[in-house]
Structures are given as C-alpha cells and as structure tokens.
C-alpha cells in the first residue's frame, strides 16, 4: 500500500464520520425521501470518441455461476452528494462541481441542459456482508426504459490512498429483477496512470491510458461471480452493485466513491478532467459564463470519496470533508 493504513473502525464510528460528506452537500437530504419518479428526457447521445477506448479482451464463454449476492444489511458508511433536482428545470447545478479536482455535478444533457434525475446521485451507501461488498446508489429519478442497458453506474476504489483510482466496478442500468452480471465490468489500472501526472487535478492532454485492464466482463473472467448489479428491491430509483474482495486484490480498507455516466462512458479516459479541457467539457454552473453550458462532458455525476475499513486522518486525496460535529448514524436504510 502507498500509505500506511490505520485499524478499521466499527460501523458506528464510520457512519458518524461520514455524516456530512461535502461542504456543498444539502444536509436536509439526510431525512428526505427521494421524489416520486418523473418522466425523464430521452437518453442523451454519446459524445464522439476522440481516441479508441480500451479493448474488451475477455472472450465470451459459457458462464456457470457458483454464488450470488444476497442483500446489504444496512449502511456501514454513506456519502451525501449535491442534489440538482431543485435547479434542474433551470438547466443548472446548484453547486457540487469543481472541475479542477475531478468533482462533477452534470446530470444534464449537452447544450440543452435537460435535467436527468436518473443520473443524479443523492446518496451512496456501502456495506460488507459475507463474501460481498455492496454499494447502493440512491438516485433522484427512475431510469427510463431507454436507459436500461445504456446508462452506467459505478464505484471507483482507491486502494493505496494516493488519489488514483485503482479499480472501477462498472455496471449498465439493469432491468428490474434479480442480481445479474449482464452489463457488469471490473476494470483495473494496472499501470498506475489514472489521473495523469497529478491525480485528481486537471491536466488536459496529459492523461494516461485510464482503466486499461478488464478483469471481468459480463460474467467472463477468472471468477464468473466477481461483480453483480440489480435495481434495489422496492425502490426503482436505487441501483445496487456487489463485488467480491478479490476484485480489489483482497484489500478491505480503501477510499471509495460513486459514479453515474450516461454520456461518454469511457473507463480508458479516466480521469475525465485530463481528457477534456474545461472549455471542451463545458460547465453546469451558470456563473461560469465562458464555459456554460455542458458540451463534450455531460450526463455525469460523481461523489467525493470516503474511507472504508480505516480511520481517515483528513486530507486523503479526493476524500469527503470530515465534519467537526458528526451527524447521527442512520438506523434505517435510505429509501
């Protein structure tokens, strides 16, 4: 590991530390119930590729599953993200966007700035149960039919705490039903160049090959059961992703953050703020008049990162702000 980790704390301590993730987060969301599903605009077109994406090198083969995930038991930790629902009709984000540090609040179409609630993360929760890690993404809208199998949801994990993502668990929006490996991939940055020369910081034109190694592709790989996805039972606006610790090389302490992507969807272009200049990417912030509206980087949201399995010292790259006065640990899952 690139940085010495401290001993994993219990569930209650981590839940307390994560209670106020970003300074720009709306704390009133903690007890809020996500809004009822509303009609979403059509899935936005994908931006033209500037360079070739990583090759999916795992060949199709017969898939025999030996085990499946069950259900998360609660929330060992959680992240609250900026909610653009209230300003969505105005075609703008209320905040939560800092392009220079790889923080995005872009659940909008390019140019026309139509709000896409099914790509807007309100909250993300993590839990470890048995052989699985579980992350649940609570969205501000239900994925429409045209997003199924198209919009991507993911978890990025930094195992050595250096700001570079090491593993990306990436899943296309599933139809309602049981756990599936359809549309699920696990990418690894084997050559350690995600984020370019300065992890998280914007270095346009100086990015590396991003996530270039495909460990798992729709059930194909060394372990056909490595990662799964489903819509959460009873909540059509929540996506659940499960993966085995083997996807992380056995690491059980790390920084993690959540993603949605209905636009470029290129793991090989991470970090996106190295692949696009601010002018090419555009901005969801109307106050940045020279960059507004969104252009080549659109239909996207991510969260800050938070600690799992260790006590953060503060200042870990990309990490959510640790509140001076922790919020109470939730006793019930976010619904």
Pairing of strands 300-302, 105-106: antiparallel
E strand or H helix that includes residue 216: strand 213-217
Report CA-CA distances (Å) from 44 to 109, 137, 220.
Answer: 6, 21, 29
| Mean pLDDT, residues 24-48 taken together | 40
Q: Given pLDDT bands bounded at 50, 70 and 90, which one contains residue 55? A: low
- Say what the pLDDT of residue 107 is: 99
Length of the chain: 335
Structure tokens at 271: 């970090």
What is the spatial distance between Cα 54 and Cα 209, in angstroms, rounded to a whole number?
A: 8
- 87 in helix, strand or coil? helix
DSSP track, 148-216 = TTTSEEEEEEESSSSSS--EEEEEEPPPSSS-B-TTEEEEE-TTS-TTTTSTTS--TT-----S-EEEE
In a domain, 261, yes or no: yes
Convert the pLDDT of each residue in 137-149 to its tens digit: 999 999 999 999 9
Please count the other Cβ atoms lying within 10 Å of the Cβ belonging to residue 128.
18
CA 195 to chain CA centroid, nearest Å: 16
In the block, which residue shows the tokens 């901005």? Answer: 283
Report CA-CA distances (Å) from 73 to 134, 135, 152, 180.
Answer: 9, 11, 24, 19
What is the spatial distance between Cα 209 and Cα 192, in angstroms, rounded to a whole number?
A: 9
Indicate if the pLDDT at residue 332 is higher than 70. Answer: no
In a domain, 131, yes or no: yes
In a domain, 55, yes or no: no
In a domain, 37, yes or no: no
What is the spatial distance between Cα 248 and Cα 179, in angstroms, rounded to a whole number?
A: 20
In a domain, 2, yes or no: no
* Closest to 274 in 3D by CA, of 159, 215, 189, 213: 189
Kindly state the percentage of the chain with pLDDT values over 70: 78
In a domain, 51, yes or no: no
Q: Are 318 and 163 in contact (CB under 8 A)?
A: yes
Indicate if the pLDDT at residue 28 is higher than 60. Answer: no
In a domain, 77, yes or no: yes
Range from 10-24, 55-69, 120-134 carrying the lowest mean pLDDT: 10-24
Structure tokens at 199: 């992890």
Indicate if the pLDDT at residue 35 is higher than 90. Answer: no
Indicate if the pLDDT at residue 49 is higher than 70. Answer: no
In a domain, 133, yes or no: yes
Structure tokens at 104: 């995005």
Give the 3-state DSSP-derived string for 1-29, with helices as H, strands as E and coil as C: CCCCCCCCCCHHHHHHHCCCCCCCCCHHH
Q: Are 80 and 323 in contact (CB under 8 A)?
A: no
Q: Are 302 and 137 in contact (CB under 8 A)?
A: no
Q: Which range of residues forms the domain containing residue 295?
A: 11-24+68-308
- Say what the pLDDT of residue 110 is: 98
Q: What percent helix, strand, coil does the chain show, rounded to 5?
A: 10, 25, 65
Range from 46-50, 59-63, 64-68, 237-241 carrying the lowest mean pLDDT: 46-50
Preceding omega of 176 cis (within 30 degrees of 0): no
Convert the pLDDT of each residue in 272-310 to its tens digit: 999 999 999 999 999 999 999 999 999 999 999 999 999
Phi, psi dihedrals of residue 146, rounded to the nearest 5°: -75, -10
Q: Given pLDDT bands bounded at 50, 70 and 90, which one contains residue 45? A: very low
- Say what the pLDDT of residue 314 is: 86
Please count the other Cβ atoms lying within 10 Å of the Cβ belonging to residue 145.
11
Beta-strand runs (E) in 253-334: 254-261, 300-302, 306-308
* DSSP class of 335: -
What is the spatial distance between Cα 206 and Cα 291, in angstroms, rounded to a whole number?
A: 21
Indicate the pTM of the whole model: 0.81
Pairing of strands 132-139, 238-243: antiparallel
Convert the pLDDT of each residue in 207-226 to its tens digit: 999 999 999 999 999 999 99
Counting the structural domains of the chain, the total is: 1
Q: Are 187 and 29 in contact (CB under 8 A)?
A: no
- 147 in helix, strand or coil? helix
């Amino acid at each position: 590991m690139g940085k010495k980790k401290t001993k994993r704390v219990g569930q209650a301590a981590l839940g307390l530390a994560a209670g106020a993730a970003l300074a720009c987060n709306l704390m009133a969301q903690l007890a809020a119930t996500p809004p009822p599903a509303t009609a979403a605009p059509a899935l936005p077109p994908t931006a033209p590729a500037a360079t070739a994406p990583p090759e999916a090198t795992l060949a199709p083969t017969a898939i025999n599953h030996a085990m499946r995930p069950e259900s998360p038991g609660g929330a060992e930790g959680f992240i609250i993200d900026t909610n653009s629902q209230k300003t969505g009709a105005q075609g703008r984000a209320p905040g939560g966007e800092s392009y220079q540090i790889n923080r995005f609040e872009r659940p909008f179409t390019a140019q026309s700035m139509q709000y896409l609630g099914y790509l807007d993360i309100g909250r993300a929760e993590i839990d470890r149960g048995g052989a699985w890690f579980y992350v649940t993404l609570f969205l501000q809208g239900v994925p429409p039919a045209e997003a199924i199998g198209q919009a991507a949801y993911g978890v990025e994990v930094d195992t050595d705490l250096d700001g570079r993502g090491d593993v990306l668990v990436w899943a296309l929006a599933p139809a309602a039903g049981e756990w599936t490996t359809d549309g699920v991939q696990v990418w690894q940055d084997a050559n350690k160049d995600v984020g370019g020369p300065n992890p998280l910081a914007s270095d346009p034109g100086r990015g590396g090959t991003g996530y270039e190694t495909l460990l798992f592709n729709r059930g194909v790989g060394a372990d056909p059961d490595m990662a799964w996805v489903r819509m959460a039972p009873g909540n059509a606006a929540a996506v659940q992703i499960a993966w085995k610790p083997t996807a992380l090389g056995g690491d059980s302490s790390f920084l993690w953050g959540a993603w949605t992507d209905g636009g470029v969807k290129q793991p090989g272009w991470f970090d996106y703020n190295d692949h696009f200049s601010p002018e090419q990417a555009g901005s969801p912030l109307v106050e940045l008049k020279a960059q507004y509206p969104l252009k080549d980087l659109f239909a996207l949201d991510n969260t800050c990162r938070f600690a799992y399995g260790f006590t953060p010292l503060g200042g870990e790259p990309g990490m959510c702000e640790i509140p001076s006065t922790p919020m109470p640990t939730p006793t019930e899952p976010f619904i």
